Structure 1
């Protein structure tokens, strides 16, 4: 298994679906095809079925990924969102249709050479950063194309970009990254991630490829491990799976969870 395959094997970043009962808002994901699956976690769409009575505030939880997304009805509106240390909320109005690419951790900087740190904790227009890719979205994608068709077009475009690359992978960085995934984010990043790199070198590489420090990224991986366990309010009280990843009591866990999700576990899993 290559280092890039290992990332996909160990890490499955979750964004919560729209709550049951909100049938007018649809969130969908399409898994990537072979050839892009080690770079892309999924293609996603968030859209309304009809005009909403009230403007919608969409919450994005911390997932360690970088996304490129655009307005399906007007692809000239295309953006990139970097690593976020906490949850983010977007006011998206009464009617919307967004399509995006969720890149696996480290994938976008590897493909495009962009310093992930310059993208962190914000969304910004794609054109100043990747003008060619932004122009391709504007000219090749149409409002009347179904999500499935757009996912195919994006896949072909990304395959072309990948096939033209000669990747110079720093195995020491990827070994550190994969160790964080193996340990579910529960480790001492100062002592457990040596791999022949100094703390300063490792931080520099994580800033470039992930957009944050090893410790901050590990905290998001811990949080995502909890989401992947698909807990309920009852199971959290009974099994206390958060102890497995280093939360020493319930108050400590709730504080961290709320930072990454925006609400308490009881509110999230009811």
Structure 2
């Protein structure tokens, strides 16, 4: 039986607006695949006779396989924001791999995928068009997930012990907002800095510093969306920035707008 997961609380930009434009759902993977798959996700929209909507997210440090009619792909980590134009009526179905967990399938440094997309059949022996037909001939997620899992189970690699180790590090970064530097991770996990960086480049596709900054920016975006007024100088210091200007520069480089301009777009 398919088990539903709660809605995303971070990562979706302008979340309140996004929820009005499309239906988001997430589901746990079966026990056989849970080691590798964080969850499945779907987005459905019906904007017929309505203006298109540009949905944007701040991606997590994960690889996704996204099934989209005629355009299904493997997505490496996007360092900036990820955008997708919703128009007409449609849906997409995604597989979110746990950080580092795509490496055993790919069998190459995952950093080769960062900022790029790849055809699914470049990694898996599969007729993508036929798989798309099977997935999209039903509207029900309860029917789509078994189709995807049946395919994935034919490709399960051996469990790599580096994956739970990497996820324990990333979980610490995600849950402990006091973690603001790579040096803290080095001390907490008793690992050499260079070894940590090599591990992340090979398995995750981005540096540990990028992961720390991304999760802290998730917190910033969430605070901005939930507040009418934000003390950006105080927020910058709270996030470990030495000055407000550096924080604003990082935010703008990632989101595309300064914090104050972004605040205005969320209301």
- Regarding TM over 0.5, the answer is yes
1:22 deviation in Å?
8.0
- More deviation in 168-177 or 217-226? 168-177
1:117 deviation in Å?
0.8
Structure 1 residues 16 and 101: alpha-carbon distance in aligned structure 2, compared to 1, 3 A threshold: farther
- Which residue in the other structure is 1:49 paired with? 46
Paired residues of 2:29 and 2:39 also in contact (CA < 8 A):
no
Identify the match of residue 244 of structure 1 among 215, 225, 238.
238
Identify the match of residue 29 of structure 1 among 25, 35, 51.
25
What is the distance in 2 between the residues matched to 1:267 and 1:148? 38
What is the distance in 2 between the residues matched to 1:21 and 1:111? 32
What is the distance in 2 between the residues matched to 1:229 and 1:38? 31
- Which residue in the other structure is 2:204 paired with? 210
- Which residue in the other structure is 2:64 paired with? 67
Q: Deviations over 1:9-57 (max 9, x none)?
A: xx9763246653985x413122314524453333222333143555543
Structure 1 residues 114 and 91: alpha-carbon distance in aligned structure 2, compared to 1, 3 A threshold: farther
What is the distance in 1 between the residues matched to 2:81 and 2:102? 21
Matched residue pairs, number? 256
TM-score by length of 2: 0.74
TM-score by length of 1: 0.73
* C-alpha RMSD of matched pairs (Å): 3.8
Paired residues of 1:207 and 1:213 also in contact (CA < 8 A):
yes
Identify the match of residue 116 of structure 1 among 106, 110, 118.
110
Which structure dedicates a bigger proportion of its chain to helix? 2
Runs of at least 5 residues in structure 1 that lack an aligned partner in the other structure: 1-10
Alignment of 1:1-270 (within 5 A): 14-16=11-13, 19-20=16-17, 23=20, 25-35=21-31, 36-52=33-49, 54-71=51-68, 74=69, 77-91=71-85, 94-132=88-126, 134=128, 137-138=131-132, 140-158=134-152, 161-162=155-156, 165-169=158-162, 173=166, 176-184=169-177, 186-190=179-183, 192-193=185-186, 195=189, 197-227=191-221, 231-234=225-228, 236-237=230-231, 240-263=234-257, 264=259, 265-267=262-264, 269-270=266-267
What is the distance in 1 between the residues matched to 2:41 and 2:112? 24
What is the distance in 2 between the residues matched to 1:169 and 1:22? 36
Partner of 1:141: helix, strand, or coil?
A: helix
Q: Deviations over 1:58-106 (max 9, x none)?
A: 32323222211012xx3x5310111122113344554442211122322
Runs of at least 5 residues in structure 2 that lack an aligned partner in the other structure: 1-7
